Amino acid sequence: MNTLEQIAENIKRIKAELGGRARLLAATKTVPADIINFALDCGIDLIGENRVNELLEKYEHIDRSRTEIHFIGALQTNKVKYIIDKVDMIHSVDRVSLVDEIERQAAKRNIIMPVLAEINIGKEETKSGILPEQAEEFCAYISEKPHIKLCGLMAIPPKSENFGDNRKYFCEMAKIFIDISSKNVDNSNMDVLSLGMSDDYADAADCGSTLVRVGSAIFGKREYPIKNQE
């Protein structure tokens, strides 16, 4: 992991590169709470956690008065109840059963949970997400739920060996986002298009992403635990 000085410099540099085109989400998987709080000192106001157990372990130690917390990882339906009242938005909503469980748990607490629909823009068999041609129907289904607010779309394109290759996927996602937004779907506020990570956040912002998820470009290379915390 990077030093505190490097983290501060990286945050400043990335924000300058984005130039206000997209909001910066710091992906904080494996990052200790004290380092997260330092990142908040450096101007981060949005963090994303990937694992339910890790989020619960760090939750009380994060200065939540200064940041939003988004859940950005794959989410099992039986884990929704643990985070429904602890996060400000759930990304990676990728199937009807998950929508139904978020609605059920949010209704129990009388809250409205903002979500992003995950699109499998590369149509990869090994990756979760709704196929692009099913995106409009899926978004309409989400919008029917009274305790969920659809706020936009997210996607993780296929891994690429060549710099810039993902731009075509980002542009495809931007078109889908614009098309669905233009429908003015009830019970939605389509203002978030979450594309781009550490290797391609600048390209994503060029193509219309409004939120980029950056981890290693801020915090450095991290060693992930072998045990699956889900």
Q: What angle do CA 199, 17, 68 make, to 5 degrees?
A: 80
Task: State the pLDDT at residue 162.
Answer: 74
Q: 67 to each of 38, 40, 41, 42, 64, how far by Cα in Å?
A: 12, 7, 11, 12, 5
Residue type, 12: K
Burial category of 110 from C-beta neighbours within 10 Å (exposed 0-12, middle 13-18, buried 19 and up): exposed
pLDDT of residue 228: 46
Low-confidence ranges of the chain (pLDDT < 50): 227-230
Q: So what's the pLDDT on residue 99?
A: 98
CA dihedral 33, 39, 40, 46 (to 10 degrees): -90
Taking Cα atoms as reference points, which of 81, 61, 83 lies closest to residue 72?
83
- Answering whether pTM is above 0.85, one says yes
Domains of the chain by start residue, with CATH: 4-219 (3.20.20.10)
pLDDT value, residue 161: 74
DSSP 130: B
- Give the span between the Cα atoms of 168 and 3, in whole angstroms: 35
User: What residue spans of the chain are helical by DSSP H?
Assistant: 4-18, 33-41, 52-58, 80-83, 96-109, 135-143, 167-182, 201-206, 216-219
Residue 217 has which token pair?
């470009």
Distance CA 35, CA 61 (A): 11
Q: What is the pLDDT of residue 229?
A: 42
| Per-residue pLDDT, 159 | 86
CA-nearest of 210, 227, 226 to 91 is: 210
Phi, psi of 14 (to 5 degrees): -65, -40
pLDDT reported for residue 22: 98
pLDDT of the residue at 189: 84
What is the dihedral angle through the alpha carbons of 109, 150, 203, 127, rounded to the nearest 10 degrees? 80
What is the model's pLDDT at position 225? 58
217: Cβ–Cβ under 8 A, 6 or more apart, which residues? 10, 14, 198, 199, 201
- Give the pLDDT of residue 83: 98
- Write down the pLDDT at residue 230: 41
